[in-house]
Structure 1
Amino acid sequence: MGSQSVGHGPLVGHSTFSRNPPEMTKRGYDEQYIKFGFTSLHDRGEIKGQCVLCQKVLGNQSLRPSKLKLHLEKIHPHHQHKDVDFFKRMEENVKRQRLDQSGTLFQQNKRLTEASYAVSLLIAQQKKPHTVGETLIKPCALKMARILLGEEAEKKFNKISLSNNTVQRRIADLSSDIKEQVIAEIKDAAFRLFSIQLDESTDVSSCLLAFVRYMKGDSIKEEFLFCRSLENTKAVDVMEKVTEFFDHEELNWHNLCGVCTDGAPAMPGAKSGFQALVRNLSPGIISVHCLIHRQALASKILTSHLQDVLEQVIKIVNYMKSSALNSRLFKQLCTEMDSEHKNLLYYTKVLWLSKGNVVARVLELREEMQSFLQMQEKHKLEASFHEMLWVFRLAYLVDIFDQLNRLNLKLQGKGTTIIQFIDTLSAFIQKLENWKRKAEEGNFTMFESLSEVTINEPLDPGVAKDVVTHLSCLREEFLHYFPEIGREGLALMRNPFLVKVSDVQDDLQDELIEFQNDSGCRDVFEASSFSEFWPKMMGSYPKIAMECLWKLLPFATTYLCESGFSTLVQLKTKARNRLECEADLRCALSTTDPRIWKLVQKIQENISQ
């Protein structure tokens, strides 16, 4: 028995059991196939058969007389007895249609491709997975077409290619076209000036976002520039990615007039930070640390008593939201007490508006929270709501955080200029000075919540002192973080008709004299915003326009990058964590319309069967 071996698998080296299926033989076209009504069609190196009657395309493996004859008999039974000359005439018509852009086949394929691009663009703009085209959009379109328009319309809709791979290719083409237009516009911009804003994030994946601002015609345009993955977030790594993009797109560093970054350690360093590295290549750039980030840093200052109140609020909220049971019980209690809101909000340090929203909700629901803590026998936490000094300070925090949140919202947005920000911040600092003066006089009417809780209870002098001290510290912090306030560097851009000729550079003085005596310019200035006026002056007064645009173009915040990261979070979910998302991001964030007509011309659509 030892000499025998029993096995049920294939013998090693036996030719009958091949692990790989044999490759299918590619078939050729025979001129005799025209008698069945079929001509040849070359598609991506493969020969296929095309019916000259219905123009349907059959695959290479269908190039056999039996299948071609079957098609003729089943689909075109009335033409099966036609002679060869008839089919040759039809063949000539088909070939002309392929070459003639007015032909039926060409126009049909053109419209199908255009529809595919248009739907793919919408998928990207709505931040949806690429598979939604074939799993949802196309089935819906087919059902609607069948119900409303009939079977013929359904067949036409079915020819639109919306597969996952097709949508991905379409979005890549659309993104490339948008980038091509943006780069061309930057290179053709007035004085070829442009500025960028950059920000890096590690929330979803380590990546770098960049946006660009430049002149297009008589207006300023903001556009998405690029998204790059980062292995490290050091300044040299960021610089490498930006340099790589600039070199590939042939952008000149000397035309870069401004760089705006956040407050990350790698960005604003004076010697080794990213802005310092850029300054080595473009010494005249204006480096800006995002004003919104600076506002958030300046707003952190609190007196010790106010800080204690904030920490206690966070502690109470964290306890009450620490379990699903607590949340449900508190929601039920709020419903029974007919409260407007029924949930507390978590404090999140990285969210700019979080503190203000949290303390406002706590003050609003303080009676409900007090009752809940009493039922839970958390007397230590409940005791805070019985202390009027604690409630007074909480009310003040609600008011001042509300003002800081309003300021933050004013600093957000697109198309803003440094002048608008300086004006907004200057106004807020003057408000702080006015509030401090009134508080020292015992007048707290500007703080609504504090005024409400002190209707039946006089304000404690200690709390009043805390308010005055905090307003004073807040003013000092804002002046520290915003040294631009009060400087005269923007006077020429702000109102050139009030600037003394002797206060500007020598090479600008003669042009400024002509400018100030141009009544037409004065009329346009009074009717236009800064971003509208100065681009219009490039032709008539290029030196002054150049000087002002150099200061007007730089971004003042990284708001576009922050909103871009929000879009990135929607795109790069756990199910799509390997997605190369630059193309989708560009289609979703760009304001430039892709030239779909141009892309359609480059493609000969292969209609999926």
Structure 2
Amino acid sequence: MIMDHREKNLKKRSYSDDFFKYGFTSIIAAGIEKPQCIICNKVLSAESMKPNKLKRHFDTKHPSFAGKDIQYFKNKADGVKKSRLDTGGKYHKQNLAAVEASYLVALRIARAKKPHTIAEDLLLPAVKDIVRVMIGAEFVTKLSAISLSNDTVSRRIDDMSADIIDQVIQEMKSAPLGIFSIQLDESTDVANCSHLLVYVRYIHDGDFKDEFLFCKPLETTTTARDVFDTIGSFLEKHKISWEKVCGVCTDGAPAMLGCRSGFQRLVLNESPKAIGTHCMIHRQMLATKTLPQELQEVMKSVISAVNFVKASALNSRLFSKLCNELEASANVLLFHTEVRWLSRGKVLKRVFDLRNELKTFFNQKAKPQFEALFSDENELQKIAYLVDIFAILNELNLSLQGPNATCLDLSEKIQSFQMKLHLWQQKLDENRIYMLPNLSAFFEENDIELDKRIKTISSVKEHLQMLADEISSYFPNFPDTPFALARSPFTVKVEDVPENAQEEFIDLITSDAAKNDFSSMSLNKFWIKCLQSYPALSEIVLRLLLPFPTTYLCETGFSSLLVIKSKYRSRLVAEDDLRCALAKTSPRISDLVRKKQPQRSH
């Protein structure tokens, strides 16, 4: 090894036991004796082998050790020398612990969707302060061994992401039947870059597992072929066949649902047994957009009134002050956003609650067209009905959201809502409106005459019929027999079961053990358990249950993407951070630590 020229020519200085009182021992490095701090393990240059320089290091770096006697430092020096000889001992274990700690901190940063620099800028200094105050300054030096720089945190996240996807791919390949379903959606980030987000569902540990698969940029166009090629490249890289795809759930864009060249058609060409699904949440929203002309006009008037108040900062402040003076239940209005599923219901509810305050405000502002909206009983009745019906629709929408749902679960909720619509129409024929609480209360509070009530109820019936027709259009009847087989196999006739599974079906319905399992287990777990005894029958059912019914996970994934890839991190490649943040599979940190060569901190 080549020595530093300056170190060759400097006057050789020898270590003295007097240096113990400054907390220093000696170490031979590249044939040169150098001083080493026995508190922080830092090795100084040979030129620093002077009492004044060692004392300066001790006084500035470790003032809390000033009262310790020489024997204390001698004991610590023995420990330092022992750790040099015992590479597999305490020192090595401390370094492994430091590497593991850096992985754990990086995982928390990824799951909290925070910038990578937060570890070095905030977390480590904060932890040092806590340890210094709560435990003791002598323990702070151990934390210096934890590497938490921006680059280190990024590498840790990359390592954990690679380990997670390795586990997911292995689970997909080893899943019973080897089949899986996907849901996907495409959206843009703050930098206007298009990203394709994909989730996967497969059988694992006796149940369905929904897992984040990948997030890839679509660098040019976003056609069906681009989406198909991006997913195909991922599957090919991991040696997975398109034939294993049993279900595809997308939104209703032409690029996804086109009957000739849409993405789902391209998938069906490769995997004819796959089931294509249009997201049920999107379908429900499309079905509920249509309003009769008079209700549509009221809705537009309400939105215009809200925009008049919210679009002006002065108007917003004046309205807020007015609400506070009148002791209203709220003091701000909500904006209507077309792309937000629950927006209309929340906006209408707030407007109806503040109708008297809005009437006063528009009177003060000399806006008669808006004041009339909140003065006319006919208009207020329509608003009251819109508040009620959109509250009902929002409740339905929320019931369709959430993870772990199947097409069977959500189809039952849609069918239930359709039956309620028919029931409500019958009740309206009897002038009963208990299902519309705001409208009913408004009738009672204002003593609305019967003929005016009947006119409003007539408009309500028209909308409910229109709504029922739209729901039926977007949600055609599901095939009864396959879903009945999945939902209640012991009530299905043998002749209604596919011929290749009829004998297994007979074995199933005559098995007391199967009946007990069916009554005590969830539907998914029951049919997965039946795979061993009734493989053909179970495969038929599981191919119906595995497909995603909505793109809910993708929607929540895009929300996380916008948090991670903010305007301050617009150039970040977010896939690894997203995977660590969203994946249910935990990284095998202990395995990753063993693969690392822990480096001694200087």
Q: Pick the aligned partner of 2:377 from 368, 388, 391.
A: 388
Assess if the C-alpha contact under 8 Å between 1:256 and 1:285 holds in 2: yes
Q: Are 1:453 and 2:429 matched, yes or no?
A: no
> How many Å apart are 1:498 and its aligned residue?
1.2
2:177 aligns with 191
Assess if the C-alpha contact under 8 Å between 1:39 and 1:51 holds in 2: no
Q: Per the alignment, in what secondary structure is the counterpart of residue 488 of structure 1?
A: helix
1:339 aligns with 328
Assess if the C-alpha contact under 8 Å between 2:35 and 2:49 holds in 1: no
Letter in 2 for 1:496: P
Q: Pick the aligned partner of 1:254 from 234, 240, 243.
A: 243
Assess if the C-alpha contact under 8 Å between 1:224 and 1:589 holds in 2: yes
2:579 aligns with 586
Assess if the C-alpha contact under 8 Å between 1:479 and 1:485 holds in 2: no
Q: Distance in 1 between matches of 2:472 and 2:598?
A: 62
Q: Per the alignment, in what secondary structure is the counterpart of residue 254 of structure 2?
A: coil
Q: Distance in 2 between matches of 1:305 and 1:254?
A: 51
2:132 aligns with 146
Q: Distance in 2 between matches of 1:540 and 1:358?
A: 54
Q: Distance in 2 between matches of 1:70 and 1:269?
A: 82
Q: Are 1:270 and 2:259 matched, yes or no?
A: yes
Assess if the C-alpha contact under 8 Å between 1:39 and 1:52 holds in 2: no
Q: Distance in 1 between matches of 2:593 and 2:331?
A: 54
Q: Per the alignment, in what secondary structure is the counterpart of residue 497 of structure 1?
A: helix
2:204 aligns with 216
> How many Å apart are 1:488 and its aligned residue?
3.1
Q: Per the alignment, in what secondary structure is the counterpart of residue 37 of structure 1?
A: strand
Once the two structures are superposed, the pairs formed by residues 369-448 of structure 1 within 5 Å of their partners are 369-448=358-437
Q: Per the alignment, in what secondary structure is the counterpart of residue 352 of structure 1?
A: coil
Q: Pick the aligned partner of 2:560 from 546, 556, 567.
A: 567
Q: Pick the aligned partner of 1:534 from 527, 530, 550.
A: 527
Once the two structures are superposed, the pairs formed by residues 56-135 of structure 1 within 5 Å of their partners are 56=41, 66=47, 97-98=86-87, 100=88, 103-135=89-121
Assess if the C-alpha contact under 8 Å between 2:199 and 2:212 holds in 1: yes
* Structure 2 segments unaligned to the other structure (5+ residues): 16-25, 59-68
Letter in 2 for 1:550: R
Q: Per the alignment, in what secondary structure is the counterpart of residue 161 of structure 1?
A: coil
> How many Å apart are 1:398 and its aligned residue?
0.5
Q: Distance in 1 between matches of 2:97 and 2:487?
A: 51
Q: Per the alignment, in what secondary structure is the counterpart of residue 492 of structure 2?
A: coil
Letter in 1 for 2:86: Q
> How many Å apart are 1:399 and its aligned residue?
0.6
Letter in 2 for 1:344: L
Q: Distance in 2 between matches of 1:253 and 1:144?
A: 53
Q: Deviations over 1:516-548 (max 9, x none)?
A: 111011011011121221111121211111111
Assess if the C-alpha contact under 8 Å between 1:422 and 1:484 holds in 2: no
Q: Deviations over 1:232-259 (max 9, x none)?
A: 2111111111011111111121111101
Once the two structures are superposed, the pairs formed by residues 286-297 of structure 1 within 5 Å of their partners are 286-297=275-286
Once the two structures are superposed, the pairs formed by residues 260-339 of structure 1 within 5 Å of their partners are 260-339=249-328
Q: Distance in 2 between matches of 1:351 and 1:481?
A: 20
Q: Distance in 1 between matches of 2:494 and 2:486?
A: 14
> How many Å apart are 1:177 and its aligned residue?
0.9
Q: Distance in 2 between matches of 1:404 and 1:78?
A: 78
Q: Per the alignment, in what secondary structure is the counterpart of residue 259 of structure 1?
A: strand
Using a 3 Å threshold, how does the CA distance of structure 1 residues 553 and 379 change in structure 2: closer, same or farther? same
1:178 aligns with 164
Using a 3 Å threshold, how does the CA distance of structure 1 residues 142 and 462 change in structure 2: closer, same or farther? same
Assess if the C-alpha contact under 8 Å between 1:210 and 1:224 holds in 2: yes
Using a 3 Å threshold, how does the CA distance of structure 1 residues 193 and 49 change in structure 2: closer, same or farther? farther
Q: Distance in 1 between matches of 2:130 and 2:294?
A: 65
> How many Å apart are 1:413 and its aligned residue?
0.3
Q: Per the alignment, in what secondary structure is the counterpart of residue 489 of structure 2?
A: coil
Choose 205-214 or 450-459, whichever is displaced more. 450-459
> How many Å apart are 1:265 and its aligned residue?
2.1
2:471 aligns with 478
> How many Å apart are 1:579 and its aligned residue?
0.8
Q: Per the alignment, in what secondary structure is the counterpart of residue 272 of structure 1?
A: coil
Assess if the C-alpha contact under 8 Å between 1:212 and 1:224 holds in 2: yes
> How many Å apart are 1:147 and its aligned residue?
0.4
Q: Distance in 2 between matches of 1:215 and 1:392?
A: 51
Assess if the C-alpha contact under 8 Å between 2:443 and 2:453 holds in 1: no
Using a 3 Å threshold, how does the CA distance of structure 1 residues 191 and 34 change in structure 2: closer, same or farther? farther
> How many Å apart are 1:73 and its aligned residue?
7.6
Q: Deviations over 1:243-295 (max 9, x none)?
A: 11111111121111101011122111111111111111111100000000000
Letter in 2 for 1:588: A
> How many Å apart are 1:37 and its aligned residue?
2.4
1:521 aligns with 514
Q: TM-score, normalised by structure 2?
A: 0.88
Assess if the C-alpha contact under 8 Å between 2:40 and 2:141 holds in 1: no
> How many Å apart are 1:485 and its aligned residue?
3.9
Assess if the C-alpha contact under 8 Å between 1:37 and 1:51 holds in 2: yes
Q: Distance in 2 between matches of 1:219 and 1:476?
A: 37
Assess if the C-alpha contact under 8 Å between 2:200 and 2:212 holds in 1: yes
> How many Å apart are 1:607 and its aligned residue?
4.8
Q: Distance in 2 between matches of 1:34 and 1:514?
A: 90
Using a 3 Å threshold, how does the CA distance of structure 1 residues 140 and 505 change in structure 2: closer, same or farther? same
Assess if the C-alpha contact under 8 Å between 2:160 and 2:587 holds in 1: yes
> How many Å apart are 1:95 and its aligned residue?
6.5
Q: TM-score, normalised by structure 1?
A: 0.87
Using a 3 Å threshold, how does the CA distance of structure 1 residues 268 and 378 change in structure 2: closer, same or farther? same
Q: Distance in 1 between matches of 2:543 and 2:14?
A: 69
1:465 aligns with 458
RMSD: 2.9
Q: Per the alignment, in what secondary structure is the counterpart of residue 374 of structure 2?
A: helix
Q: Distance in 1 between matches of 2:353 and 2:510?
A: 59
Q: Distance in 1 between matches of 2:35 and 2:600?
A: 12
Letter in 1 for 2:583: S
Query: How many residue pairs were aligned?
Result: 565
Using a 3 Å threshold, how does the CA distance of structure 1 residues 33 and 273 change in structure 2: closer, same or farther? farther
State the identity as a percent: 42
Using a 3 Å threshold, how does the CA distance of structure 1 residues 191 and 375 change in structure 2: closer, same or farther? same
> How many Å apart are 1:396 and its aligned residue?
0.6
> How many Å apart are 1:134 and its aligned residue?
0.9
Using a 3 Å threshold, how does the CA distance of structure 1 residues 49 and 593 change in structure 2: closer, same or farther? farther
Q: Distance in 2 between matches of 1:543 and 1:441?
A: 51
> How many Å apart are 1:53 and its aligned residue?
7.6
Letter in 1 for 2:108: L
Q: Distance in 2 between matches of 1:168 and 1:434?
A: 58
Assess if the C-alpha contact under 8 Å between 1:145 and 1:157 holds in 2: no
Looking at secondary structure, tell me which structure has more helix per residue. 2
> How many Å apart are 1:489 and its aligned residue?
2.8
Q: Distance in 1 between matches of 2:405 and 2:268?
A: 24
Q: Are 1:601 and 2:589 matched, yes or no?
A: no
Using a 3 Å threshold, how does the CA distance of structure 1 residues 280 and 454 change in structure 2: closer, same or farther? same
1:3 aligns with none
Q: Per the alignment, in what secondary structure is the counterpart of residue 240 of structure 2?
A: coil
Assess if the C-alpha contact under 8 Å between 1:161 and 1:607 holds in 2: no
2:348 aligns with 359
1:206 aligns with 194
Q: Distance in 1 between matches of 2:123 and 2:600?
A: 18
